Amino acid sequence: MGLELKAVILGGGQGKRLRPLTESVPKPLITVAGKPIVVRQIEWLKSYGVEEFIIAIGYLREKLVDFLGNGSKLGVHVSYVFEDKPLGTGGGLRNARFTLDKVEHFYVVNGDIITDIDPERLVQNLKGDAVGVIALVPLHSSYGIVKVNKEFRILDFKEKPLLNKYWINAGLYLLRPEVFSYLPEIGDIEKTAFPILAEKGKLMAVKYGKPGLWKSVDTFKDIEEIETEFGRCEAK
């Protein structure tokens, strides 16, 4: 892969559950373990050969533009599409259609995801008439699990395990430009385009059974958990 493969970062949300942090900076600039989320995302995808990024942003967009500029300080090229009102993930992506209509396919990542999973697996699974591929990760329980036997004697405790029978949307996609004909002007891609594409059999998935690092940054607790995880990695 090279310059021909682009990535869209959807950063239009206001991050209300992270206030007061997001009262002065947009969510992609929230610092986690010493780096803004958007920097971690760019460095991750750059390590897989992506050097062109389009960031869809509305809320406090001038802060993000001032910080990233054209991306040269990170060794990539960054451009922007702006939304004057919240468009949702589908509308935000549709807003970027004129910069992506001539590429074969492109990555899309939600602007609150921190991960190190291999995105190239999506490229390998974009087959036939599929319009897109969604990355899936196991559902991570928010609670500890108690295992009992038939006599209801407690056998084991597992603290917030991965529930490997259940899969969730990882917020990372590989899409073909055909997707733009399915996107709403306002609305989320997960609630509009994806159900239609799934019904037509045009949506693939890749399961990351051992995802390594993956976390959606929605709350202060999420930030604490990621920083704890980074601390463990650095201690190894």
167-199: per-residue pLDDT in tens? 988 999 999 999 999 999 899 999 999 999 999
Calculate mean pLDDT across residues 64-74: 91
Calculate mean pLDDT across residues 14-19: 69
How many domains, in total, are found in the chain?
A: 1
Residue predicted with more confidence, 158 or 167:
167
Report the candidate in 216, 105, 221, 219 with the shortest Cα–Cα distance to residue 170.
Answer: 216
- Are 196 and 206 in contact, with CB atoms under 8 Å apart? no
Residue 137 neighbours by CB under 8 Å, 6+ apart: 117, 167, 168, 170, 207, 208, 211, 214
Calculate mean pLDDT across residues 34-60: 91
pLDDT exceeds 70 at position 236? no
Q: How far apart are CA 62 and CA 59, in angstroms?
A: 9
Both tokens assigned to 14: 């206001």
Question: What HEC string does the chain produce?
Answer: CCCCCEEEEECCCCCHHHCCHHHCCCHHHCEECCEEHHHHHHHHHHCCCCCEEEEEECCCHHHHHHHHCCCHHHCCEEEEEECCCCCHHHHHHHCCHHHCCCCCCEEEEECCEEECCCCHHHHHCCCCCCCEEEEEEEEECCCCEEEECCCCCEEEEECCCEEEEEEEEEEEEEECHHHHHHCCCCCCCCCCHHHHHHHCCCEEEEECCCCCCEEECCCHHHHHHHHHHHHHHHHC
Q: Is residue 157 part of a domain?
A: no
Q: How confident is the model at residue 234 (pLDDT cuts 50, 70, 90)?
A: very low
Among 19-28, 40-49, 63-72, which stretch is predicted with the lowest mean pLDDT? 19-28
Mean pLDDT, the chain, integer: 84
Q: Is residue 189 part of a domain?
A: yes
Return the percentage of the chain with pLDDT > 90, whole number.
42
Place of tokens 């920097």: 39
pLDDT exceeds 70 at position 115? yes
Q: Is residue 185 part of a domain?
A: yes
Place of tokens 């935000």: 92
Question: What does the pLDDT read at residue 198?
Answer: 93
CATH number at residue 72: 3.90.550.10
**Residue of 160, 200, 207, 221 marked catalytic:** 160
Q: Does the annotation mark 35 as catalytic?
A: no
Q: Is residue 163 part of a domain?
A: no
Question: What does the pLDDT read at residue 3?
Answer: 41
Among 85-89, 190-194, 205-209, 220-224, which stretch is predicted with the lowest mean pLDDT? 220-224
- Are 138 and 164 in contact, with CB atoms under 8 Å apart? yes
- Are 74 and 50 in contact, with CB atoms under 8 Å apart? no
Q: Is residue 152 part of a domain?
A: no
Q: Is residue 230 part of a domain?
A: no
Q: Is residue 225 part of a domain?
A: no
Residue 57 neighbours by CB under 8 Å, 6+ apart: 11, 12, 26, 28, 64, 80, 81, 82, 83, 111
Domain that residue 60 falls in: 6-118+134-139+168-219
- Are 232 and 135 in contact, with CB atoms under 8 Å apart? no
Q: Is residue 113 part of a domain?
A: yes
Phi, psi of 186 (to 5 degrees): -140, 130
pLDDT exceeds 80 at position 125? yes
Amino acid at residue number 132: G
Please give the model's pTM, rounded to 2 decimal places: 0.85
